[in-house]
Structure 1
Amino acid sequence: MKKLAAGCLLSVAIATGSYAATMTMKSAPPESWTVTNYYKQAVYDPKEAKIGDIDDVLIDKSGKITGLVVGVGGFLGAGEKDVIVPFASVKTAKRNDKWWLTIDETKDDLKAARGFKYDRASTTWVPENK
């Protein structure tokens, strides 16, 4: 019985290892970007005034980026408000080997927008109750 159980476990381990190896990619997909081009990056308005920083990247179940959580206002993180903007509204450019992100909103526009807080229990962003 022990030999049968050990044989089954060995078969599963070998099959799982073989399956996992076929799931890796030989190269990065063309036109793919890394999340670090957005995460923790500064966001600017059209006049190049800093609005805030991206605190999170929201991805749907199919893997598509749907929104960005931007921290606005406050000083050194105190009094900061998190808002969510559609991913498509953020424009990108590269300046001096660094990603430059802009949005057609002002800091005041985003400060007036609905705020969100991260709920650790559900691991989602939920509207603030204000």
Structure 2
Amino acid sequence: MQAVLCSALLSAIPTNGFANARIDLAQYLSGDRAPAPIIRVHHEAGENAPPAQMLTALPADDWPATNWYKQSVYDLADNKVGEIADVLIDHDGKNTAVLIGVGGFLGVGEKYVAVPFDAVHFKKKDNSWYPVMNTTKDALKNAPGFRYDRNAQRWTPESQPASVGGPSPTPRANQR
């Protein structure tokens, strides 16, 4: 499952010929019909691309992705309301949404809902931080659902038909 988050993080890195479809999350959450996706193509990296710069230090107040991924989410009364399934990152590297799995048992019957990234906050208890939201489990269960479309390689509304086909995966050099 960490591969899902890693691929989401890596998808924010500009690569040669990479395109990223963006859909207005607010329209999906409001139930309005979304417009056709806007395709934004990253600038191509060629021989004249500037060399990558290495960091000598990391920001002290930043949190690793593992503090988000697969973490239980609680309401303000410390009742578990779901689990973070994915974090969406736009083409500029900005976190835009969090997908939360609610309901179900051992992954069966689970529903995935999207909330804006800034709707999830952290609370400290017993020297440990954990994600909280000002919502209820019922509100999340009643929110529009999303599913991950492996062919399209993105989250889509449950009401949208699954894509057929899609890009053929290109094996990495170290894969056999």
Q: Per the shorter chain, which TM-score range?
A: 0.7 to 0.9
Select 1:58's aligned residue among 69, 80, 88: 88
- Output the amino acid matched with 2:122: T
Q: Report how many aligned residue pairs link the two structures.
A: 114
Which residue of structure 1 lines up, in the alignment, with residue 79 of structure 2? Answer: 49
> Could you list the runs of 5+ residues in structure 1 that have no partner in the other structure?
1-11
**Residues in 2 aligned to 1:128 and 1:95: alpha-carbon distance in whole angstroms:** 36
Q: Could you tell which deviates more after superposition, 62-71 or 92-101?
A: 92-101
Q: Which residues in structure 2 correspond to 1:13-32 (within 5 Å)? A: 19-20=51-52, 23-32=53-62
Per-residue CA deviation, residues 53-85 of structure 1 (Å, 9 max, x unaligned), is: 000011111111111100000111110000011
Counterpart of 1:9 in structure 2 is none
Question: Once superposed, what is the RMSD of the aligned Cα atoms?
Answer: 2.2
Name the structure with the higher strand share: 1
Larger Rg computed on CA atoms: 1
Q: How does 1:1-130 map to 2 (within 5 A)?
A: 19-20=51-52, 23-129=53-159
CA distance in 1, matches of 2:129, 2:158: 30
Gaps spanning 5+ residues in structure 2: where? 1-46, 161-176
Q: Distance in 2 between matches of 1:25 and 1:66?
A: 24
Percent identity of equivalent pairs: 47
**C-alpha distance in 2 between matches for 1:96 and 1:59:** 31
Mean Cα deviation higher: 72-81 or 29-38? 29-38
Q: Deviations over 1:94-123 (max 9, x none)?
A: 333433111111000000000000011221
**Which has a greater percent of helix?**
1
Question: Which deviations, in whole Å up to 9, do the C-alpha atoms of 1:28-71 show, x marking residues without a partner?
Answer: 13432211111100001111110110000111111111111000
Aligned to 1:5: none
SS of the aligned residue for 1:43 comes to strand
SS at match of 2:107: coil
Q: Aligned to 2:118, what secondary structure does the other structure show?
A: helix
Separation in structure 2 between the aligned mates of residue 125 and residue 28 of structure 1, nearest angstrom: 31
With the length of structure 1 as denominator, give the TM-score of the two structures: 0.79
